[in-house]
A and B are shown apart, each in its own frame.
Chain A
Amino acid sequence: MTELLRLPAEQAYASELETLARGDEGQKPEGWKLSPRAVLTYLLGGKAADGTVISPKYVGSRRLMETAVATLATDRALLLLGVPGTAKSWVSEHLAAAIAGDSTLLIQCTAGTDENQIRYGWNYAQLLAQGPSEAALVETPLLRAMRGGSLCRLEELTRMGSDVQDTLITVLSEKMLPIPELNTAVFARRGFNVIATANNRDKGVNELSSALKRRFNVVVLPLPTDMAEEVEIVVKRVGETAAHLDLPVPRNVREEITRMLTIFRELRAGATADQKITLKTPSSTLSTAEAIATLVGGLSQAAWFNEGRLGAGELAASMVGAIVKDPVQDKAVLEEYLETVLKKRDDYSAYYTALNEAL
């Protein structure tokens, strides 16, 4: 076994990729390790040519994945957009692993990312000693992907400033990167492409520059549509996190998760679960990831301050925090929801009271 905490996808799933590659008779775009159909099988699960079962990496719409793979096959850049917790980075990693066999050419974009980390930097000791030269150039993952005909991943694209984002324009539209200092340019080899991920509803992100937006094909990854599926995801992830933090998990956690997710999902969808009443939606995203964080917060409070008993009281404060992002509008939305929907449900009376108190 390995001593590493986590392996990149192409190593963790090396045997699946190898099996798929062996039986892959489909036509491959230049520079691809697998044909587009084999890439889809790898992502969505299925059977390889020799009957080996391939585990699904993404559970959700097949059409979206088809669009994503087709985009990369046209040498257009792909932008995966969505609220937090919709498996954007996960899909991006597995796409890179399956198509290029390498998911490690990665740039994590932050507010502090500057152009040198996107294009190329300089080894200043050499620059001073010898002047500008190839040897003094420090390649970024993007530049390496261009030279190697591989895929470069940009995580959280909109977290870096719009002006820095625009560095990508030439690369995406002309597939080349000029290096004026050396009076030369790097031309991308076939197989080069960019997969970016970005958050479309989080606070504190920059606008996606419109010049850049036109150069991406955008695939929006949705939140899980099925309640049972989402409950399972949350139960599993909460269990893992709690184990990691050494928090005891009370027995009623599933019921509380179901109630809390019902509230989250109803507010998120703008309708009650039985579709009988339409609701207003708050400005918060209320994603699966937020549900998990809220629950872990509640668990922690229950463990340290309430002798391990988890109930509406422990969850209410963090729930209000998750729902009310805009103090005026969201508060009104939640109030209306409490008065018109939750008040009438007997099994939610604890939540009604606790949430009202927390407001």
Chain B
Amino acid sequence: MRADAGVHFFGIRHHGPGSAACLVQALEALQPAAVLIEGPADATPILPMLAAPGMKPPVALLCYPKDDPARAGFWPFAEFSPEYQAVLWAVAHAVPVSFIDLPSTARQPEKKAEAAAGKESEAEDGAEGAAENEAENPHAQHEEAPPREYLDPLGVLAEAAGYQDGESWWSDLIEHNPAPGPVFEAIAEAMAALRENLAETPEFEALREAHMRRAIAAARKEQEGPLAVVCGAWHVPALAAASAATRKADQARLKGLPREKSAVTWAPWTSPRLARDGYGAGVAAPGWNLHLWRGAGARQDGNSLWLVRIAHVLREQGYLVSTASLIEAERLAQALAAIRERPRAGFEELREAAIACLFGGESLLWERIEATLLLGNDVGEIPPDVPLAPLIEDLQRQQKATRLKAEALPQELSLDLRSESGLARSTLLHRLDLLGVPWGRAQDAGGSRGTFRERWQLAWEPEFAVRLVEHLVHGPTIAQAAAGCLLEQIRAATTLDQMAESIRAAITANLPEAAAEGLRLFEARAAHSDNCPEMLASIPPLADIIRYGEARATAAAQHLAPLLERLIVEAALKLDYAARSLDAEAAAQLAAQIDAAHTGIRLIEAGEEILAAWMQGLAAVLDDEQGTPSLAGTAARLLYGAGRLAPEAAVTLMGRRLSPGVPVADAASFLEGFFHATATLLIHDAALRQAVDLWITHLEEADFITSLPLLRRVFSALDQSERKRLLAAALGQSAAVSSLLRPAPDGGAGWQAHFAMLATLLAEEHARKNDE
């Protein structure tokens, strides 16, 4: 079968640096006339672009049906991907190169339903998984669970070889065995043995293999010399078994394949996105793979290099790591490999040795540097001449769907969120805003949340298109890109309130998954936060979501209520500590936050228990001996307003706080806190007024002058007529009313109350006349 001019199969492990190295050597030795690679056939025309000078991996092939980018699939390539290296080799040697797998449109028959159900990111993940490790990861469409041999063929072989998991086994066999040549034959034989024992291949896999066989046969007709087929190891036996009989069956099977027009392009990728959790999902550690690929794996001192990298990362973070410890770590890794009977120390041995020797046994420390070390922060680049960007296409489609035109001249737009089209338009504008494309500017930002109406001003700028393209890395559609962008923001946020604001933005822009993930992160952060002001500041946006969430149907809001309640209780518990010994500026800030949080809590109509906890927190601030006086005033005002502080108690409190024994500055700031923005209380509440009056009249002149600015601040909230009425009230003119009128002694309690009210009204009338 393996005549020189025949078809040569190279079974590789996707993203395996060892197989990439072997493959390049094998291609060099074979000098094939054409290179055929497992990958969506419709992307063949843009394959040579991978070798273009501006192309810097990691990059991903992006394929989507022309009319529906939400069903996009990504095929990522790293520098160490064998497929990428095969393309590079082919282009460098001017040899035709093509993809031979099913076209991208034919492999997502049921993605439509998923995308319609709003599971955009799942659809993407599914395609990614399928692309990265088809051998281990069958397509999601098979409902019955396939046998384990099919799911994880390497795992079965590895177990037979006495390994704990397939990854390590493959590493020892391929990645740590740089001898070229019989490796690919050995893999083919092993896979053949494994597949012989299996029942039928699942239909979707059979379809793919049929397509690949047909493509190989077609290439055979065109090309004279040897053909190199690069595919996942699992497929080698099936592809090699091509015969006249299979050809017939393949033709029958491939009939009626859905034919849709697809668009293909390249998108920049990042190394963290190459990494995916768990086994069978491609690259666990791109950083380690890159380390192996860059030649270190084959060198004698490869392990030392890796340990030195660990040491560098540690030192950057301020830990002291000595060279002697590195030597010890390497020795320990070798001993571990010997105990485990491995040919040489691999990734796991080095990790465990580093933990024992460099990290003082603390695996937590390893987890902290793991991301830097294993994921890296490489971002791919694509040359400027790559075909159209799908985000712009998506925007054009959505503009059509929502009947919004991109015009440079500013335009007013009023939206009713209760109508479907209004909501769709608003969602689109909010999402674009998140992507840094302020096509529409909300006219009544902030005030609009409570209503079903939004007003926008639209104006399109040409550079918006460029900004959209930059966001391709977050996803191929506007929705996905906005979600990805927002999540990045949430992860980078340093305070709870920033996170809360971002979550609100996610809900406004109808990005439920981003909102849910954001909430999860928020919850984790909130539990560890000790920062009361942060918690207070995050209450209003979250309360807004709950209160006004109905305008935009959202599932995340349901999960939010218990979280917010917990946040309120926690903040209330910490309130008195947070309110201690603050200077004027910090106190004013905290007072504003308490006020906003209080409004938020009333907004969501929190349950009695929660409300009680919050009031208790306020009461603690009020009673705290070490508390800041102005905040005690704020707390007293809120308690009084909520009816938790009885009027008599309020007067007693005012009297006590404004007693001669209290330092004047403290008394004045308490007064300011209490009457902040509510000085009108003084007009209507005679008892309170009296307490304040008494204090002011007893002030020494010097003290009075010192506290004047403060008093001024309190009373500046009143307008002119209010001030006059207060003055009149303070000077006792209201008392004149009751001297002539006397309640009838037999009038009863009801009459007494009516009379009191009447007296107040009359007094006000009197004051107004005076004004005129």
A279 contacts B by Cβ under 8 Å: yes
A70 contacts B by Cβ under 8 Å: yes
Q: How far is the CA of A67 from the CA of B361 in the complex (A)?
A: 10
A279 neighbours in B (Cβ, 8 Å)? 527
Residues A79 and B335 in contact, CB atoms below 8 Å apart = no
A278 contacts B by Cβ under 8 Å: yes
Residue of B nearest to A343 (CB): B609
Expressed in whole angstroms, the minimum distance between the Cβ of B565 and any Cβ of chain A is 9
B355 neighbours in A (Cβ, 8 Å)? 67
A73 neighbours in B (Cβ, 8 Å)? 335, 338-339
Chain A residues 155 to 190 lying within 8 A of chain B, measured CB to CB, are none
B325 contacts A by Cβ under 8 Å: yes
Expressed in whole angstroms, the minimum distance between the Cβ of B561 and any Cβ of chain A is 13
Q: Which of B328, B530, B566, B574 contacts A340 (CB 8 A)?
A: B566
Expressed in whole angstroms, the minimum distance between the Cβ of A29 and any Cβ of chain B is 9
A332 neighbours in B (Cβ, 8 Å)? 573-574
Task: Identify which of A36, A81, A217, A270 gathers the most chain B CB atoms within 10 Å of its CB.
Answer: A217
Q: How far is the CA of A335 from the CA of B573 in the complex (A)?
A: 9
Known pairs A73-B339, A339-B613; A81 contacts B361 (CB<8 A) = yes
Q: How far is the CA of A70 from the CA of B353 in the complex (A)?
A: 9
Known pairs A67-B332, A76-B331, A339-B613; A277 contacts B566 (CB<8 A) = yes
B749 contacts A by Cβ under 8 Å: no
Produce 1/0 per residue, B558-580, CB < 8 A to A: 00000000100110011000000
Known pairs A73-B335, A336-B570, A340-B569; A66 contacts B340 (CB<8 A) = yes
A57 contacts B by Cβ under 8 Å: no
Residues B339 and A71 in contact, CB atoms below 8 Å apart = no
Task: Identify which of B335, B348, B613 gathers the most chain A CB atoms within 10 Å of its CB.
Answer: B335
Q: How far is the CA of A81 from the CA of B365 in the complex (A)?
A: 15
Residues A340 and B570 in contact, CB atoms below 8 Å apart = yes
Q: Which of A40, A214, A217, A339 contacts B356 (CB 8 A)?
A: A217
Residues A71 and B569 in contact, CB atoms below 8 Å apart = no
Produce 1/0 per residue, B336-369, CB < 8 A to A: 1011100000001000110111011111000000
Query: Could you tell me how many residues of chain A have their Cβ less than 8 Å away from some Cβ of chain B?
Result: 30
Q: How far is the CA of A81 from the CA of B363 in the complex (A)?
A: 12
Residues A67 and B352 in contact, CB atoms below 8 Å apart = yes
Known pairs A220-B361, A280-B527; A70 contacts B332 (CB<8 A) = yes
Residues B361 and A219 in contact, CB atoms below 8 Å apart = yes
Residues A74 and B527 in contact, CB atoms below 8 Å apart = no
Residue of A nearest to B363 (CB): A220
Chain B residues 303 to 333 lying within 8 A of chain A, measured CB to CB, are 322, 324-325, 328, 331-332
Residue of B nearest to A210 (CB): B320
Expressed in whole angstroms, the minimum distance between the Cβ of A34 and any Cβ of chain B is 12
Q: How far is the CA of A315 from the CA of B340 in the complex (A)?
A: 46
Residue of A nearest to B341 (CB): A37
A322 contacts B by Cβ under 8 Å: no
Expressed in whole angstroms, the minimum distance between the Cβ of B566 and any Cβ of chain A is 5
Residue of A nearest to B353 (CB): A67
Range, interface on chain B:
35 or more
Expressed in whole angstroms, the minimum distance between the Cβ of A295 and any Cβ of chain B is 28
Residues B332 and A76 in contact, CB atoms below 8 Å apart = yes
Task: Identify which of B361, B569, B573 gathers the most chain A CB atoms within 10 Å of its CB.
Answer: B361
Residue of A nearest to B329 (CB): A217
Residues A277 and B328 in contact, CB atoms below 8 Å apart = no
A277 neighbours in B (Cβ, 8 Å)? 523, 527, 566
Expressed in whole angstroms, the minimum distance between the Cβ of A225 and any Cβ of chain B is 13
A63 neighbours in B (Cβ, 8 Å)? 348, 352
Produce 1/0 per residue, A132-145, CB < 8 A to B: 00000000000000
Produce 1/0 per residue, A280-294, CB < 8 A to B: 100000000000000
Chain A residues 202 to 218 lying within 8 A of chain B, measured CB to CB, are 213-214, 217-218
A74 neighbours in B (Cβ, 8 Å)? 328, 331-332, 334-335
Known pairs A66-B340, A278-B523; A214 contacts B335 (CB<8 A) = no
Residues A67 and B528 in contact, CB atoms below 8 Å apart = no
B409 contacts A by Cβ under 8 Å: no
Expressed in whole angstroms, the minimum distance between the Cβ of A359 and any Cβ of chain B is 13
B524 contacts A by Cβ under 8 Å: yes
Residues A278 and B528 in contact, CB atoms below 8 Å apart = yes
A354 contacts B by Cβ under 8 Å: no
Q: How far is the CA of A76 from the CA of B328 in the complex (A)?
A: 8
Expressed in whole angstroms, the minimum distance between the Cβ of B327 and any Cβ of chain A is 10
B573 neighbours in A (Cβ, 8 Å)? 332, 335-336, 339
Residues B336 and A278 in contact, CB atoms below 8 Å apart = no
Q: How far is the CA of A278 from the CA of B521 in the complex (A)?
A: 10
Expressed in whole angstroms, the minimum distance between the Cβ of B354 and any Cβ of chain A is 11
Residue of A nearest to B337 (CB): A70
Task: Identify which of A70, A214, A270 gathers the most chain B CB atoms within 10 Å of its CB.
Answer: A70
Known pairs A217-B332, A220-B361, A336-B570; A36 contacts B322 (CB<8 A) = no
Q: How far is the CA of A270 from the CA of B363 in the complex (A)?
A: 17
A342 contacts B by Cβ under 8 Å: no
Q: How far is the CA of A219 from the CA of B363 in the complex (A)?
A: 10
Chain A residues 318 to 359 lying within 8 A of chain B, measured CB to CB, are 332, 335-336, 339-340
A69 contacts B by Cβ under 8 Å: yes
B357 neighbours in A (Cβ, 8 Å)? 76, 217-218
Residue of A nearest to B331 (CB): A74
Binding site for A on B (CB under 8 A): 322, 324-325, 328, 331-332, 334-336, 338-340, 348, 352-353, 355-357, 359-363, 523-524, 526-528, 530, 566, 569-570, 573-574, 613
23 contacting pairs across A/B (C-beta < 8 A): A36-B335, A40-B339, A67-B332, A73-B338, A74-B331, A76-B328, A76-B332, A214-B322, A217-B356, A218-B356, A218-B357, A218-B359, A218-B360, A218-B361, A219-B361, A270-B527, A270-B528, A278-B523, A278-B524, A279-B527, A280-B527, A336-B573, A340-B569
Q: Which 9 A-B residue pairs are closest in the complex by CB-CB distance? A: A218-B361, A278-B527, A220-B361, A70-B335, A217-B356, A70-B336, A74-B335, A218-B360, A74-B331
